[in-house]
Chain A
Amino acid sequence: MSKNVALTDHSTGRSWLAGILTWAIPGAGHLLIGKTTRGLLLGGVVFFMLALGLLLGGHLYGPHSSADIGLLAYVYGFCNLGLGLLYAVCLWAGIGLTDQAARATAEYGNIFLIIAGLLNYLSMLDAFDIASGRKA
């Protein structure tokens, strides 16, 4: 009964909440709207890509790295920002902020981190669409 209510409640506020929640915590918005499997899958992939990216020596971009690569830091930073609260926690804790260019896998790590953020943006839109009734 509660699952049916969750799937048919297409209020605007709920849609935005699902989208923002997915952005903040990957997969959480899907859990909110009753798409448990999809939420765990999408969230798991984003978390795994973040962990793998950091282990490979990748680093997160943002205003702090503009001295190194200029305006491109904001482009990559926007991609990383898709990680939501994970990005904020990493900035706050100082995780993944150091460029480890000497490591052979550092660029692979950067790509994993960038794509993790972009995939979470897609997940966010997916959660919004489902919650608003545009998708099943």
Chain B
Amino acid sequence: MPAGGSAARFLFLWGLVALPACAREPADPVLRFWAFGREGEVVAELVRGFEREHPGVRVRVQQIPWSAAHEKVLTAIVGRATPDLAQMGNTWIPEMAALGALAPVDGPVADSGYFPGILATNIIDDTLFGLPWYVDTRVLFYRKDLLARAGFDSMPTTWDGWRGAMLAIKRNAGPGQYAIFLPTNEWPPQVILGLQQGSPLIDEQGFGAFRGPEFARAFDFLMSLYQDGLAAPVSNNTIANLYQEFARGTFAMYISGPWNLGEFRRRLPADMQDDWGTAPLPGPDGPGVSLAGGSSLVVFRGSKHADLAHQLVAYLARPEQQIRFYRLTGDLPARLEAWNDPALAADAEAVAFRTQLTRVVPTPMVPEWEQATTKIMDFTEAAARGQRTPASALASLDAAVDRLLERRRYLLERRRVAAAP
């Protein structure tokens, strides 16, 4: 029979090490809140007010970079280790709902306090699964001085005008400088252009529409920008510091979102602040549509503090919190009421977003969308770098997306057969 002091000592030592590893949660409720990117850095300040209103409650914000956010959320769901609430890109909500991971939010499904296109992205099967937190769409950030020097006093509103402006800027530019920064590992530009041409991207039967004429037109336009030297076919990893390069004139335009309002103000030199501006996106024949993006706040099923989590979501949805959030990040409030705030109303660069938000279209609300965007990026990169012709890239993209959607088509078919009498 095992006996003896040293065995016991050994086990004790190991227990000493292993036990803290299985530490228990403290008695006070701690809300675990996952937030991404810049929002993650900032929201920790905002929740202090909530903690003051609910003494004894602590909110622990975990900040996760966007590049890892999607996989971390899925891993947590599969591993049954989800936080209480999280920020959630609204394009991911269909996926989360399909997994049964989210708790429905109480709130009227038709809430006029929000941009209708944005609220719609949170509704699956007539249930509201998230509350919009901030809205996102993409507009053009550009160097006003470089555009003026090229002979344009404002950003054109048609594709032809836009191309003309870019060519003019390129003529003035030096070697290694471009008109526009279009990194090959971002998907919004090609998707937006496709939406502007009226492509559904993924059709109702669950097949890709990238080979279709609408998307092909958009894709050809995009490729022409690379081919004519107006954009460099590089990934955004190769630019060490985006803001430095914008200030240096390495590129004069960039399609980006509201978070960069705050970043541009912070990171560009003070004497450059008058030289940049924003403009709504040009469309094929006039002002174009953009993405109905943004993040919502969701509560996970299985949260042990569901009530508190819902209350925190409601707290962050209050107009004054929305305004505070805007002031800290430049992210645009989802609550329409918050737009009346003088600071936002006076924000010259935010006007472009306000205008654009009246012309937004959601991306396909299928769970596979996130993975589809990686395919879009892959084939865009291949075509931009000349490894494939645009037509062959689009054909392969459709094949890849069709393959992704195979399970969905199978399950939809099953459901249809089961529902049929």
Please determine whether chains A and B interact with each other in the same assembly. Answer: no
- Which B positions have Cβ atoms within 8 angstroms of A? none
